[in-house]
Amino acid sequence: MQLERNKPLNAYNTFGFNTKAEMFVEAQSIAQAQEAIEYSKKNALSLTILGDGSNVVLTDDIPGLTLKMATSAFFIDHHQPGAAAIDDNKASDNNTCSVIAEAGVNWHQFVLATIEQQAFGLENLSLIPGTVGAAPIQNIGAYGVEISSSLSFVECIDCESNQLQVFDRDNCEFAYRDSIFKRSPPLQLGNAGFTPQFKQPRFLITRVGFTLQKQFEPQLSYAALANEIALRNLDKPDAQTVSNIVCDIRRSKLPDPAKLGNAGSFFKNPIISLTIQQDIQKHWPDAPCYPQADGTIKIAAAWLLETAGWKGKKVAGGTLGVHDKQALVLVNHGGGNGQALIELATEIKNSVKDMFGIELEQEPRTLPEISHPV
């Protein structure tokens, strides 16, 4: 385990904010991650887990030890049915295959590799930034598909015992942009009367298993994707074509973090009651609302921000603002900082609350604080 002190993190967060980690380590294996966890405990250091920094706002330097999983292997077994098939007593099912990826694998490159190796089901999740290890925490989703639909298990280190633990899909308690890994409170360690208290995340994801399909069936429930395929006159698009179209749509709406600092969608799409929906549509009949299975309504957060007048606005001397093509994306035009960005996000939330009576929820994690991979 190689520790670095005062590690600059501007290259480790997609906003490009200039902060530092007091101590930093990249774990190349599960054993190294366990060593880092043990080291932080022995030295009463708070532990922060960092992925690719694509879902985080760094507001200051991070105290204690920051750990990044740098494991990068994945395995696709076409001869082994996926775990979900086995759980359903379908061990003889030849339509699925088992896929296992380590936490540090880049998510988009992983999706492209599954397509290349004829393992299907993740195409709609192309070009989502981040790592495989971070994906289950948010239950990432796009264009009508969530990771929970293909995931079979999550292996993680329980930081309390520093031992491996495996969660099957049901035990992950997935919900919209949520999971047990996101909801689990941090460990509060140390005795306040004798030694400084410090925090650790409850879980550190190490590997993720998937059940993917051997035969490709496009998932076109999302209107924007289906419409784009129809416009291109594609009757039977293959998996690579669907992935390419998803990438085209995302690039047309979302700025490249390498060119303009951002963390993608900054707010979740709110879930509202039928009563609130009806009240909104009295004033805005075209408000994009989507009925949910439980009787609630999902409303597009981007529409709320745009209707409230935030699209394209700049603040903090022009260093920060709202993207001019997608109101859901907050951006760093250069020279901005995380504290000012959170102030902007708070102002946006207050204006939406005042105008629509809807409380927006921030998607990216704010650091420093105890964190899941982001």
The answer to whether 363 is a known catalytic residue is: yes
- pLDDT value of position 90: 40
List Cα–Cα distances, 52 to 12, 190, 191, 342, in angstroms: 6, 29, 33, 20
List Cα–Cα distances, 359 to 231, 272, 305, 353, in angstroms: 36, 9, 12, 6
- pLDDT value of position 369: 76
Q: Answer whether 201's CB lies under 8 Å from 67's CB.
A: no
Q: Which residues, other chains included, contact 346 with Cβ-Cβ below 8 Å and sequence gap of 6+?
A: none
The answer to whether 177 is a known catalytic residue is: yes
DSSP state of 15: T
The label of the residue with tokens 């948010």 reads 138
DSSP H or E run through 84: helix 83-87
List Cα–Cα distances, 28 to 32, 125, 291, in angstroms: 6, 26, 44
- pLDDT value of position 195: 60
Of the candidates 29, 35, 177, 343, the residue annotated as catalytic is 177
Q: Answer whether 131's CB lies under 8 Å from 140's CB.
A: no
Joined tokens for residue 36: 């880092």
Q: Which residues, other chains included, contact 187 with Cβ-Cβ below 8 Å and sequence gap of 6+?
A: 159, 160, 199, 200, 201, 202
The Cα 68–Cα 205 span in angstroms is 11
Q: Answer whether 304's CB lies under 8 Å from 360's CB.
A: yes
The Cα 275–Cα 136 span in angstroms is 32
- pLDDT value of position 49: 95
Of the candidates 102, 123, 228, 363, the residue annotated as catalytic is 363
Q: In terms of pTM, does the model score above 0.75? A: yes
Of the candidates 54, 150, 265, 371, the residue annotated as catalytic is 265
What domains does the chain contain, in order, with CATH numbers? 4-69 (3.30.43.10), 74-188+200-213 (3.30.465.10), 271-358 (3.90.78.10)
The Cα 300–Cα 287 span in angstroms is 8
274-281's contacts with Cβ under 8 Å and 24+ in sequence apart are 276/356, 276/357, 276/358, 279/357, 280/356
The label of the residue with tokens 């992950």 reads 172
The Cα 372–Cα 374 span in angstroms is 6
The Cα 81–Cα 93 span in angstroms is 7
pLDDT in tens, the chain (374 residues): 899 999 999 999 999 999 999 999 999 999 999 999 999 999 999 999 999 999 999 999 999 999 999 999 999 988 776 654 334 444 446 899 999 999 999 999 999 999 999 999 999 999 999 999 999 999 999 999 999 999 999 999 999 999 999 999 999 999 988 999 999 998 888 766 656 678 889 999 999 999 999 999 999 999 899 999 999 999 899 999 999 999 999 999 899 998 999 999 999 999 999 999 999 999 999 999 999 989 999 999 999 999 999 999 999 999 999 999 999 999 999 999 999 999 999 999 999 999 999 999 999 999 997 444 55
Q: Which of 314, 318, 284, 304 is nearest to 349 (CA)?
A: 304
DSSP H or E run through 56: strand 56-58
Phi (first) and psi of residue 70, to 5 degrees: -115, 15
DSSP state of 93: -
Entry field: residues in the chain: 374
The Cα 57–Cα 339 span in angstroms is 9
- pLDDT value of position 374: 54
Name the packing angle between helices 107-116 and 239-253 (round to 10°).
Answer: 160
